[in-house]
């Protein structure tokens, strides 16, 4: 009876696995605050991981690159030999059916760790748009299906759309991190992606957690600029935002279950303070109930495995 009247389903089909890619070979470095999450080199290490992801029925991965060297403008983000471009070429050839998403942000690539080009100590929004366009074209040329700009620059979706169309890539999609809050829940990610800002914080461009209406404005601007999918990030403390956006857009909506949310559950699970399996599936189901079509989550592999076990019962 419970199965018959269940209102919302969670399935491996709804999940996106984030991956951190580094240069070198044989590198498999666990993130201390994110047990079970690794920085991986492109050789068979990443291939093995992606094969597992695909075998579990997860349709998509989101790539983050950790560059060999950083500079003021984050050049490796749009270099043909960049780490993400190398990973994309390999994965595109070996996993033709897997949806490849890339995070477009500059912060992993810049020496100062901010999400754009600096003018003094301030991010120059419009100068950054040009860089994002170049990075998008470079990622797509290497095989990305979807680019995901996460820097919260005004006008980023329009700039990326016109850069992609201009380069003959009108068939590739943009997943906009449309509503991204200046959140302490990104703490562990900054270790994973080596992207902590060298000074200050990201409040010049990321949103105030107290604001909902501003988020709806951000979502509608990005929709008008041509976004194909919208994202709300983080997710657990922002389920009301997911619900509100869901009620106002017909675009697919993605929730990002971020690093700090993962770390909290893992920490409590390891202490034996929570039933991790039940808690993870409850959290992800809650995001679906709030209105998310898809969820980016570091739990993707274990959740997909648990869901298929449950399905067999």
Enter the DSSP assignment of 56. T
Report the sign of the C-alpha dihedral through residues 277, 253, 149, 87, in that order: positive
Size of the site for ligand PBG (CB under 6 A): 11
Helix axes 44-55, 300-312, angle to 10 degrees: 30
Answer yes or no: 70 catalytic. no
Catalytic hit among 70, 233, 266, 301: 233
Which of 14, 49, 76, 103 touches ligand PBG (CB under 6 A)? 103
Instruction: Give whichever of 65 and 151 is closer to ligand PBG, judged by the CB atom.
Output: 151
Answer yes or no: 233 catalytic. yes
Question: Which residues make beta-bridge pairs with 110?
Answer: 71
Enter the DSSP assignment of 71. B
Which of 46, 105, 239, 295 touches ligand PBG (CB under 6 A)? 105
Residue 113, by phi and psi: left (phi above 0), alpha (psi -120 to 50) or beta? left
Contacting range for ligand PBG; rule: CB under 6 A; set: 100-108, 119-127, 133-141, 267-275? 100-108
Contacting range for ligand PBG; rule: CB under 6 A; set: 74-82, 99-107, 121-129, 264-272? 99-107
Enter the DSSP assignment of 67. -
Instruction: Give whichever of 105 and 300 is closer to ligand PBG, judged by the CB atom.
Output: 105
- Residue 115 in contact with ligand PBG, rule: CB under 6 A: yes
Residue nearest to ligand PBG (CB): 189
Contact 297, 262 (CB under 8 A): yes
- What are 10's two structure tokens? 């969670």
Contact 209, 241 (CB under 8 A): no
Helix axes 83-94, 125-142, angle to 10 degrees: 30
- Residue 125 in contact with ligand PBG, rule: CB under 6 A: no
Which of 258, 263, 281, 294 touches ligand PBG (CB under 6 A)? 258
Residue 231: helix, strand or coil by DSSP?
Answer: strand
Contact 218, 245 (CB under 8 A): no
Q: What is the DSSP pairing of strand 253-257 with strand 294-297?
A: parallel
Which of 107, 141, 254, 281 touches ligand PBG (CB under 6 A)? 107
Which of 150, 176, 249, 297 touches ligand PBG (CB under 6 A)? 150
The least distance separating ligand PBG from the CB of residue 283, rounded to whole angstroms, comes to 14
The least distance separating ligand PBG from the CB of residue 188, rounded to whole angstroms, comes to 7
Site string for ligand PBG, 164-203 (x = CB under 6 A): ----------------------x--x------------x-
For residue 116, which of 132, 102, 138 has the smallest C-alpha distance? 132
- Residue 259 in contact with ligand PBG, rule: CB under 6 A: yes
The least distance separating ligand PBG from the CB of residue 115, rounded to whole angstroms, comes to 5
Contact 177, 149 (CB under 8 A): yes
Instruction: Give whichever of 30 and 310 is closer to ligand PBG, judged by the CB atom.
Output: 30
Report the sign of the C-alpha dihedral through residues 133, 118, 186, 52, in that order: positive
List active site positions.
180, 233
Footprint on this chain of ligand PBG (rule: CB under 6 A): 103, 105, 107, 115, 150-151, 186, 189, 202, 258-259
């Amino acid at each position: 009876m419970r199965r018959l009247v269940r209102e919302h389903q969670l399935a491996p089909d709804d999940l996106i696995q984030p991956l951190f890619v580094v240069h070198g070979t044989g590198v498999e470095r666990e993130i201390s605050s994110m047990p079970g999450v690794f920085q991986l080199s492109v050789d068979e290490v990443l291939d093995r991981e992606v094969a597992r992801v695909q075998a579990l029925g997860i349709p998509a991965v989101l790539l983050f690159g950790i560059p060999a060297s950083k500079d003021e403008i984050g050049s490796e983000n749009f270099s043909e030999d960049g780490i993400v471009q190398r990973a994309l070429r390999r994965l595109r050839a070996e996993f033709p059916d897997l949806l490849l998403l890339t995070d477009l942000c500059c912060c992993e690539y810049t020496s100062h760790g901010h999400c754009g080009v600096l003018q003094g100590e301030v991010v120059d929004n419009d100068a950054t748009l040009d860089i994002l366009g170049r990075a998008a074209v470079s990622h797509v040329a290497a095989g990305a299906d979807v680019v995901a700009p996460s820097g919260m620059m005004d006008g980023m979706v329009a700039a990326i759309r016109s850069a992609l169309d201009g380069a003959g890539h009108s068939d590739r999609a943009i997943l906009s991190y449309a509503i991204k809050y200046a959140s302490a829940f990104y703490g562990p990610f900054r270790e994973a992606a080596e992207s902590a800002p060298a000074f200050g914080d990201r409040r010049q461009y990321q949103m105030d957690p107290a604001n909902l209406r501003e988020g709806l404005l951000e979502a509608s601007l990005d929709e008008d600029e041509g976004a194909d999918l919208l994202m709300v990030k983080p997710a657990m403390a922002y389920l009301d935002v997911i619900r509100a956006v869901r009620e106002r857009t017909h675009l697919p909506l993605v929730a990002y279950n971020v690093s700090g949310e993962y770390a909290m559950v893992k920490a409590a699970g390891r202490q034996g303070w929570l039933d991790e399996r039940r808690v993870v599936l409850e959290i992800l189901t809650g995001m679906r109930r709030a209105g998310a079509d898809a969820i980016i989550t570091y739990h993707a592999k274990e959740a997909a495995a648990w869901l298929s076990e449950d399905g067999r019962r």
